[in-house]
Amino acid sequence: MLTFPALVARTVHIDVNLVEIGKWASFKPMTNPYQSDEAVQGQLNELRARIEIARSITRIVGAPGNGKTRLVLEALKGSALSMSVLYAQQVGHLTPSLVSYLEHTPDVQCTVVVDEVNDNEAELLSERFSAMPDGVRLVTIGFNASSRPRAKALQVAGLSPQVLAATIKTIVPGIDEERARSIASECHESPKLAVLFAQLINEDPTLLDPQRLLADGEVQNALDRYLPGLTAPSAPGWQALSTTALLMRLGWTDEADFEANDLFTRSGSTLRPRGAKSKCFMSNMVLRRSPDASVM
């Protein structure tokens, strides 16, 4: 039994910060309906194959909210390694005592998944796990701060509008296909935004109005956290916004608020979202729907 730490965690709860796969799958964000297409299935198969290699070290990167953690969970649920999984929500939950135990137990079987891991932490963990027994595997999940492809990392790009629309339809019974696709197209490949929008609309159908939806405080907070970037109109007057939008990939700063506020004001909406990214996002939606957008 001691060769399967995940089994010990399930039965005696020796470490409350590390959970086995059943507990991990019960976390609320992991219980939302999971939809896939050919591209997602391809990533699942590739990820599962990488992890199942003996003593593998796998890095998963992508923008916040684009489904990295859920992809890893789904890959491992369909793997022979599922009974060996221990999940840590952050690096600090991976205790030195567990790492030492894994190092000194030759026949141990454990697949360690660590979330919210930055690039520097991932490198340190990779070095520590490089000499582990064959039955120990490491998966780190995090944001690629450089926005450059990494040779050994699996880049998760998010979900297609079709998959997001299917997710929305499972949460909002009776929503028509066109409306579901319209909402999905505004989520910028983020399943977390799609689920949030759908849940709020399910609770309050008046939020099907895009401006009412984007005026919601919870939505605005989510946009500031998960929105990876925007496509601004291409007219010369919007070049400043196009430039500052790049900051979203590296960290949004107050200096960008002026350009965002300018776009929001020109969109003509009477609503007043909080935060620069919320303004950008909402203005983008208004402009895309406005017949006068091409002449602004």
Q: Do 121 and 203 reside in the same domain of the chain?
A: no
Q: Do 119 and 172 reside in the same domain of the chain?
A: no
Q: Over the range 211-238, which residues count as b (16 or more CB within 10 Å of their CB) and which as e?
A: eebbbbeebbebbbebbbbbebbeeeeb
pLDDT at 15: 56
DSSP notation for 41-77: HHHHHHHHHHHHSTT-EEEEEE-TTSSHHHHHHHHHH
CA–CA distance, 123 with 246 (Å, rounded to integer): 26
Q: Is residue 73 situated within a structural domain?
A: yes
Paired with 136 in beta bridges are 110
* Contact assessment for residue 132 and residue 103, using Cβ atoms and an 8 Å cutoff: yes
Q: Is residue 277 situated within a structural domain?
A: yes
Q: Do 147 and 10 reside in the same domain of the chain?
A: yes
- Domain count across the chain: 3
- The CATH number given to whatever domain includes residue 24 is 3.40.50
Q: Do 151 and 165 reside in the same domain of the chain?
A: no
Q: Is residue 218 situated within a structural domain?
A: no
Residues 6+ apart with CB under 8 A from 264: 273, 279, 280, 282, 283
Tell me which of 139, 156, 173 is where a domain ends.
156
Q: Do 54 and 151 reside in the same domain of the chain?
A: yes
Q: Do 63 and 125 reside in the same domain of the chain?
A: yes
For 37, 186, 210, 213, the CA distances from 180, given in Å and listed in that order, are: 17, 10, 12, 14
Q: Do 43 and 178 reside in the same domain of the chain?
A: no
* Contact assessment for residue 136 and residue 112, using Cβ atoms and an 8 Å cutoff: yes
Paired with 18 in beta bridges are 88
pLDDT at 17: 82
Paired with 112 in beta bridges are 86, 138
Q: Is residue 117 situated within a structural domain?
A: yes
Q: Do 15 and 146 reside in the same domain of the chain?
A: yes
Q: Do 264 and 277 reside in the same domain of the chain?
A: yes
Q: Do 92 and 148 reside in the same domain of the chain?
A: yes
* Domain that residue 282 falls in: 229-296
Q: With residue 289 as reference, give the H or E element that holds it.
A: helix 276-289
Token representation of residue 226: 């998960």
Tell me which of 156, 178, 197 is where a domain ends.
156
Q: Is residue 22 situated within a structural domain?
A: yes
pLDDT at 292: 42
Tell me which of 113, 130, 156 is where a domain ends.
156
Q: Is residue 178 situated within a structural domain?
A: yes
How would you class 23 by CB atoms within 10 Å of its CB: exposed for 0-12, middle for 13-18, buried for 19 or more?
Answer: middle
The residue among 49, 29, 45, 25 whose CA lies nearest residue 137 is 49
Q: Is residue 215 situated within a structural domain?
A: no
**Rounded (10°) CA dihedral 92, 97, 99, 101:** -160
pLDDT at 130: 94
pLDDT at 117: 96
CA–CA distance, 132 with 167 (Å, rounded to integer): 39
Residues 6+ apart with CB under 8 A from 209: none
Q: Do 116 and 187 reside in the same domain of the chain?
A: no
Q: Is residue 222 situated within a structural domain?
A: no
- pLDDT tens by residue, the chain, 296 residues: 456 566 555 544 455 689 999 999 999 889 988 899 999 999 999 999 999 999 999 999 988 888 999 999 999 998 999 999 999 999 999 988 889 999 999 999 999 999 999 999 999 999 999 999 999 999 999 986 655 556 689 999 889 999 999 999 999 988 989 989 988 888 888 898 899 889 999 898 888 877 777 777 787 777 777 765 444 344 443 344 434 443 343 344 444 455 555 555 554 545 445 555 555 555 454 444 444 443 33
Q: Do 113 and 151 reside in the same domain of the chain?
A: yes
At 139, give phi and psi (nearest 5°).
-125, 125
